[in-house]
Structure 1
Amino acid sequence: MNAVTDSFAIAPSEASSDLSPLQAVIFDWAGTLVDFGSLAPTQIFVEAFATFGISLTLAQARGPMGLSKWHHIHQLLQDERIASQWQAAFGRRPAQADVDAIYARFMPMQIAKVGQFSAPIDGAAEVLSWLRAQGLKVGSCSGYPREVLDQLLPQAAAAGIAPDHVVAGDELSAGGRPGPFMALANVLALGVTDVRACVKVDDTVPGIEEGLNAGMWTVGLSLSGNEVGYSPEELTHVSAAYVDARVAEAEAKLKRAGAHHVVRSIAELPGALKAIAKTVRKARRVQRG
C-alpha cells in the first residue's frame, strides 16, 4: 500500500497540479478494480465448457480475456485443441449456434457467482477517491455483460468502488474490445473534451488496445490481473522469484501491446499518472514554442 499512501502525502495545491491537464481515467473491472487475479470469469469459463464435456485449462480460459464474453467463447472455440474436443464429442466443428449455447450456459453461472469475486483490489477505493480530489472523472468498462455487472456493481459500491460511469460489454451495437467504443462511450458520458487527456487502465491486451484505438494513454496492470492470474492467497505459496518472473512476463506482454506504462496493481497507479501528466505538460509547452 506504500504506493498509494505515498501518493497522498502531498499538499492539496501540489496534488492538483500533478495530474493537470488530465481529465479522466477509465478503468476495467475484474483484475483492475476488483477480483485480484481476475478469477471469476476464468473459473466459470472452465465450468461452462465442462457441462458440454469439453475440458479447458485455466490458461486456455484466460487466453482471450478482455473481450466481451460471447466473443471470448467464440475465440476459445477457434483453438484447435478445443475445437478437436468438440469434433470428437459432437461429430462436427463448433459453429456460431454452439457459441450461443455455451454463452447461455455461462451467463447464469456468472451471474450467480460474480458477487463472490467483488472484493476491491487493495488501494482501489483510495485511488478513486484521490482522483476525484484532483478533479478527474472516473469511468469504467468491462467485458462483463450488463446482467453480470448489475450483480457486481452494488457490492463493489458498498466497498467504495463506484465509478462515475459504467459501460458493459454487450450494450454497444458497435462492439467491444479491442475496438475503442466502450472507452469512447465513457468520454461522451463524462463530458471529456480531449481523448488525449484520458488514461485507460486495464490488465489485458484487448483492454490496452481499446485505449490505444480510442487515442488515449494506457497503463497496464501486471500482478493483479489476468496475466499472472493468482489470488492473493495463492501468491503466498510461491516464491518471490517466481512471482517476479511472472510479473516480468506480464509486463513485457502488456508493453508489446502498446501500454505506455505498466505497474503491478492499481495501488501503484498514481505514480504512472503523474508521469503521464508531466509528459503531456512538457509536450504542450513545446507545441506552444
Structure 2
Amino acid sequence: MLAPVNTPLPAFTAVLFGLSGCLVDFGAQASKKLIDSEQGQATAGALPALQSLNTQGVPCAWLDELPESISLLLARSLPSLIVPAPRASTPWPAPHACWQALMALGVSQLEGSVVVSGEPKLLQSGLNAGLWTIGLASCGSLCGLSQAQWQALNNAEREYRRGQATLQLYALGVHSVIDHLGELESCLADIALRRSKGEKP
C-alpha cells in the first residue's frame, strides 16, 4: 500500500497589517499623545514576519486611520517590504479599506488573504470583507499600554490584560489570536492547515 502523499498547504494571497498597535506603536497610543521615538519602533517579531512573507512572495500592505502625517511618521522604521494601503473613503469597520488595499497590491482574489491587527475596528473590517483575521492581544489598543508600561507589569497583571483582550477579540469573531507578531508564522501555518481542510473565513 502506497503511503499518502503530503499535499502542500495552500499559499497565502496577501497579508494586510494594521500599522499602529501591530507593526509599530506598541499599545496603539499614537492617537492619544505626541509621537515619541519608542512608538516608531517595530514591535516584537514585526520585521522577521515581513521578511518571511517577502521570501515567500506574499504581498503585504499596512492600513491605518490616524492622520496621514502621523501614520507616515510611525512607519518610517518599516522596510520597503511593506507598502501603505490607499486611504479608504469609507471608515472602518466597512470592508472597503481591505478591498482597496488588495486591489492596490494587484491581488485578484479574496481567498487566502489575511488581516492582522490589534485594532478591533480593522479586524471587523477584515471580517466584513470576507478575509481571515488574526488579532493581537498584547500590543493593540485593547491593552493600550506602551512597551515600557507593559514590561513594568508583573506576570499576573500581564496575563489578566492579555486574557481580557483575547476574550474581546474572539467575541468579535476573529479566527485566531496571538500575543504579538513573533507568533505570526505558526499562526499562519495553522490557518493554512484549516484552509487545506476546506475551512472558509
Q: TM-score range by the shorter chain?
A: 0.7 to 0.9
How far does the alpha carbon of each residue in 1:247-273 deviate from its partner, in whole angstroms, 9 at most, with x for none?
110000011111100000111111111
Aligned to 1:274, what secondary structure does the other structure show? helix
Q: Is residue 131 of structure 1 aligned with residue 131 of structure 2?
A: no
The residue that corresponds to 2:3 in the other structure is: none
Aligned to 1:283, what secondary structure does the other structure show? coil
The residue that corresponds to 1:29 in the other structure is: 19
The CA distance in 1 between the partners of 2:160 and 2:73, in whole Å, is 35
Q: Are the structure 2 counterparts of residues 149 and 137 from structure 1 closer, same or farther at C-alpha, using a change threshold of 3 Å?
A: same
The CA distance in 2 between the partners of 1:149 and 1:234, in whole Å, is 22
* Maintained 8 Å contact 1:115/1:151: no
Identity of aligned residues (%): 27
Q: Flag the structure with higher helix content.
A: 1
Quote the offset at 1:230 in angstroms.
1.9
The residue that corresponds to 2:71 in the other structure is: 149
The CA distance in 2 between the partners of 1:165 and 1:38, in whole Å, is 19
One-letter amino acid of the counterpart of residue 112, structure 2: A
Aligned to 1:209, what secondary structure does the other structure show? helix
C-alpha RMSD over aligned residues: 2.0
Using structure 2 for the length normalisation, give the TM-score: 0.88
Q: Are the structure 2 counterparts of residues 116 and 236 from structure 1 closer, same or farther at C-alpha, using a change threshold of 3 Å?
A: closer
Structure 2: unaligned runs, 5 residues or longer: 1-5
* Maintained 8 Å contact 2:46/2:182: yes
How far does the alpha carbon of each residue in 1:147-188 deviate from its partner, in whole angstroms, 9 at most, with x for none?
3223333x223xx3x4543136xx433x12001111111110
Which of residues 145, 166, 175 is equivalent to 1:230? 145
Quote the offset at 1:114 in angstroms.
6.1
How far does the alpha carbon of each residue in 1:61-99 deviate from its partner, in whole angstroms, 9 at most, with x for none?
xxxxxxxxxxxxxxxxxxxxxxxxxxxxxxxxxxxxxxx
The CA distance in 1 between the partners of 2:82 and 2:41, in whole Å, is 19
Computing the radius of gyration from Cα coordinates, the structure with the larger value is 1
One-letter amino acid of the counterpart of residue 227, structure 1: L
How far does the alpha carbon of each residue in 1:18-67 deviate from its partner, in whole angstroms, 9 at most, with x for none?
5x32111100011100011112212x2xxxxxxxxxxxxxxxxxxxxxxx
One-letter amino acid of the counterpart of residue 184, structure 1: W
Which of residues 141, 149, 166 is equivalent to 2:84? 166
Using structure 1 for the length normalisation, give the TM-score: 0.62
The CA distance in 1 between the partners of 2:72 and 2:162, in whole Å, is 31
Quote the offset at 1:116 in angstroms.
5.4
Q: Flag the structure with higher strand content.
A: 2
* Maintained 8 Å contact 1:37/1:224: yes
* Maintained 8 Å contact 2:26/2:140: yes
Which of residues 121, 128, 141 is equivalent to 2:43? 121
Quote the offset at 1:115 in angstroms.
5.7
How far does the alpha carbon of each residue in 1:185-218 deviate from its partner, in whole angstroms, 9 at most, with x for none?
1110112122121000111211110100111000
Aligned to 2:135, what secondary structure does the other structure show? strand
The residue that corresponds to 1:279 in the other structure is: 194
How many residues are paired up?
A: 193
Aligned to 1:140, what secondary structure does the other structure show? strand
The CA distance in 2 between the partners of 1:190 and 1:265, in whole Å, is 24
Which of residues 150, 153, 169 is equivalent to 1:254? 169
Structure 1: unaligned runs, 5 residues or longer: 1-13, 45-109, 285-289
Q: Are the structure 2 counterparts of residues 163 and 177 from structure 1 closer, same or farther at C-alpha, using a change threshold of 3 Å?
A: farther
Q: Is residue 183 of structure 1 aligned with residue 95 of structure 2?
A: no
After TM superposition, the runs of 4+ consecutive aligned structure 1 residues lying more than 4 A away are: none
The residue that corresponds to 2:110 in the other structure is: 195
